[in-house]
Amino acid sequence: MTESLQQISAAAAGTIQLGDLTVNRLGYGAMRITGKGVWGPPADHAASLATLRRAVELDVNFIDTADSYGPNVSEELIAEALAPYAPGVVIATKGGWERVGPGQWIHNASPRHLQEAVEGSLKRLHLDRIDVYQLHIPDPAVSFDASMETLARLREAGKIRHVALSNVTLEHVERARKIVPIVSVQNRYSFADREWDYLLNYCEKNDIAFIPWAPLGQNREAHELLEKVAKQIDATPLQVALAWLLRRSPVILPIPGTSSVAHLEENIAAAAIKLPDEAFAQLSKVNPPPASLR
């Protein structure tokens, strides 16, 4: 990219609504600022803080995290780096999926745990109310309705401003919306991983933000095409992947994550990339089998 770092801004991607909140349509995912395996403190504490602060300097005003990142480490770093938060900065966090070791997750979306998780996140993030709180994943051992009713009560109590979902099916979204308004859905999605296209289309029709994770194509064909397009438009492969997401739908809110200021600046520069029609069409044709079947 020839654009200078001084001109890089997440605002170049435009804005999106999360209920009554307006944020720039390129956010930051704070999972990678923790230790290896999303476990423990980062190898470079100062670099993680610098990355968070630089994100806000680049007009990123949507930061996504979870209590399980570390666990607790990501939320604590966000508060250390950014609290008290600048006006307009939205911190979204999640609960219902616990980290018990490096690379290990367990479900826990019981009403009691979600109540404790929300209280814990409020303390770690130094907030009186969480702007966007997401059920991290439905718990197969707990009634989904009970999980959502708990978040609805916490919203009514003023602990949560908006409720959201992560790692869900269309059925989950429809059931949840009968209990409480849903402002966003976060699922795995990229130009080469469109298993959730129909859910994205549903979100677009219903003014629900769609937050994709894993934005890079996870196979050789996808990576080769990304590299080809990147060379054509003088960008990086990840910038191309992000530019495709931004063009795919106005309700998409990408949240690329990194623990490096340099990589962060590269990612946010994607906000200003206008993907050529031919490149967008080429990328859109890539359709490998769903990740679960590979």
Provide the annotated active-site residues. 69
- Largest separation between any pair of C-alpha atoms in the chain: 53
d(CA 256, CA 201): 21
d(CA 91, CA 89): 7
Tokens (6 digits) for 10: 């997440």
200 in Cβ contact with 193 (< 8 Å): no
d(CA 170, CA 151): 19
d(CA 230, CA 235): 5
Q: Which residues contact 164 (CB under 8 A, 6 or more apart)?
A: 18, 92, 132, 133, 134, 135, 182, 183, 184, 185, 186
